Amino acid sequence: MVGQMKIGAVILVAGVGIPDEEMEKFLEMKRPTIFEQMIVSYQRAGVADIALVTRDGMADKIEQTLHRRGVTFLDIESDSFELAVLKGLSYLSDTCERIFVGDIRFPFFQPDILVMMQKRQAELLGAVYGGMFGDLICTSQACARNICKKLEQQIEESAEMAEGTVRSTGVAAFWKQFGYRIAHIEVENEGILVKVTSAREYEERRQMFAEKQIRGYVKVSLAVNRSFFGPGVVTLLTQIDRLGSVREACTKTGMSYSKGWKLIHTAEEETGWKIVERMSGGKNGGEAYITERGHMLLEKYELYRERVEAAAQDIYKDVFQDGELF
């Protein structure tokens, strides 16, 4: 696990060329869905700030399959790869020092690869297997901001790009156009190259990679009489802190307004103090902000989560990795 560095991840669902009817089939599959597969892999590597960039109307449907995984949804109107990358990087580059960008069609990377990539201090880093780049990139905050500026300029100059284009170049060619040399890290997981474009392909290849994907996993939460503070609440509070609005934060996290307030009230009842305060006026009839104690709770929870997950992985290795089962 990597210290206090804030790590984010963009999962591109829009702009990757999967038709709506096929996306619906992904949603109908038994767990883990392709969305959950990727999210869990990032979370196992300690990536807490995860944003799914989707086409309009898909966020609610995907959220129903995730069972409060604690992710943010960013919608775009057109099915443009460039717009999807811009939306995700713009959102995370204000708060994250390093940002992963991954395509939903490549869900079979292992969490260990993400941990290795976090430790490298390259401006733009790609994972390579057998001399071939996988569709997984890690960028620094400064690089992400610069790429956003160049994408904004490209989109302004190209009506076609704004209306919706699926990436036609290879992963390396797409990122090199922004003037950066892509550093690379050699990995032993061929899963980074495995592409799926249909629910049938995903199911077939998931069976092939299932054993290799087995990892220890714990969901870290705080409780008094009941669990009240975990990934879902943390994501919601992070959005409130960014947006100054409970309603907008609920929209971004794919939950109803009433459910958002229920989570907040439960946390406040269990702790005995205010976590979110409201002010009259402002956007949507009132602004909201996280209290000082709320900020302290978020910071300490992240420290606690990192240490628990690191300890859980060590225990997993001691117990399971003797070769008897896998």
Give the tens place of pLDDT for each residue, 7-41.
999 999 998 988 888 888 988 887 778 998 899 88
Instruction: Quote the crossing angle between the two packed helices 111-119 and 34-44, to the nearest 10°.
Output: 40
Confidence band of 67 (pLDDT split at 50, 70, 90) = low
% of the chain beyond a pLDDT of 70 = 88
Q: Return residue ranges of the chain for CATH 1.10.10.10.
A: 222-304
Q: Return residue ranges of the chain for CATH 3.90.550.10.
A: 7-213
One-letter identity of residue 100 = F
pLDDT digits (tens, 9 = 90+) for 209-267: 765 556 677 889 999 988 999 988 998 999 899 889 999 999 888 888 999 999 999 99
Assigned token pair, 168: 């036609």
CATH, range 222-304: 1.10.10.10
Q: Return the half-sphere exposure (C-beta side, CA atoms, 13 A cut-off) of residue 18.
A: 27
Distance from C-alpha of 49 to C-alpha of 231, rounded to nearest angstrom? 10
Instruction: Give pLDDT, residue 3.
Output: 44
Span 264-288, mean pLDDT?
Answer: 83
CATH, range 7-213: 3.90.550.10
Q: How many residues does the chain have?
A: 326
DSSP code, position 284? G
